[in-house]
Amino acid sequence: MKKVLSIITESFYSKVERGVHSIDADTLINILAAHHFDILHFFSLIISQNTAGEPNYELINEISFAQNKKDLARLDEIKAELERRDEVDFNIKSRLQIAYAWVLHSNKLVSPEIKNKIKSKILHADWNRYAYHSLSQIVVLLDVDEAFELYQSAFKAFKRNQKFDTLSLQFICLASINFLNCCYHQNAEQKYIEPVIEFLRTLPVDPVIGFYQVLATYYETLFAQDLEKLKWITLVIKQSGYLSTIVDTLPEEIKNELKK
C-alpha cells in the first residue's frame, strides 16, 4: 500500500476504489513496476479478455497464437478468411503479414505498402517503451544492417534514461532477442551480434528479464558454435517449457540429442 501511495494520493486511490476515477496507463505501469510485477504477463491477461472496444480482438489473438506456435496452416486459413471480406483493417493486414514473416523467417510476403508504413513509423518514433515493443515486432521486416542502425539508436536512448521501468526492460530485451534470432536466420556477421549481447549484459539484474538473459547466453553459445555448452543450456530451456522459443535455431546435433 505504501508503494501505491508514493505514486498516487490516498484521496485519489479511494476514488479509484469507489469507481469515481480510473487510472491511466502510465500510472498503472508505474504501480505494477513498483511491486516488481511481470507487466507483460499482466497485460497478456487483459488482452485475452473479451473486449467490446476491439471488434477484431479474437482475430488478433488467433494471429498471435498461430505466430507463436509457428502454425503456418492456421495463418493460411486466416488469410483466406480475410480475402473473403470486402474490407480489412490495416492493423489486421499488417499483423498477419508480420506473423508470416516470423514463421517463414522471410519478409518476402510483406507488401511494400505495409513495409514502408511500418518502417516509417518506427524511424520517426521517439524511443520509449512502446517504440521498443514496436521494434521487437517489425525487426523481421528489415535487413540486418538497417535494423542494426535502429538498435544502436534505441540502445543509446535506453542508456540515457537511467529510470528503468519494468515494462521498458522487458521490451528492450524482447527486441534484442528477436534481433539475434533474425541475425541467425540472415547469417549475420559477428559485428552485428556482439554489441547486442554486450548490451544485454549491461542491464540491471531483475527477475522479470532473467529468462531473456538465459536466451542471450543461448545465442552467444549458438554463434560461438560451442555444441557441448549449447546442449545443457537447451536442456534447461526445454525443462522450463520454453523450447518453442529456440526450436527454429537448434542445430541438428542438438535436435538429435533431445530425441534420445
In the chain (260 residues long), the average pLDDT of successive 10-residue segments reads 55 62 64 55 50 64 83 92 87 87 84 79 75 87 88 90 78 94 94 96 88 95 94 91 88 84
What's the pLDDT at 22?
A: 66
What's the pLDDT at 70?
A: 81
What is the rounded distance in angstroms from the CA atom of residue 19 to the CA atom of residue 143?
48
Question: What's the grid cell of residue 221?
Answer: 553459445
Residue located via cell numbers 478468411: 81
Question: What's the grid cell of residue 92?
Answer: 489486421
pTM recorded for the entire structure: 0.74
What's the pLDDT at 51?
A: 47
By C-alpha distance, which of 28, 33, 26, 31 is closest to 167?
33
What's the pLDDT at 3?
A: 47
By C-alpha distance, which of 174, 204, 238, 220 is closest to 40?
174
CA dist list (Å): 75 to 54, 93, 148, 213:
20, 12, 29, 30
3-state secondary structure (DSSP) of residue 251: coil
Task: Decide: 101 and 141 in contact? Cβ < 8 Å.
Answer: yes
What is the rounded distance in angstroms from the CA atom of residue 192 to the CA atom of residue 144?
8
Q: Which residues contact 228 (CB under 8 A, 6 or more apart)?
A: none
What's the pLDDT at 242?
A: 84
What is the rounded distance in angstroms from the CA atom of residue 215 to the CA atom of residue 160?
25
Task: Decide: 208 and 172 in contact? Cβ < 8 Å.
Answer: no
What's the pLDDT at 50?
A: 46
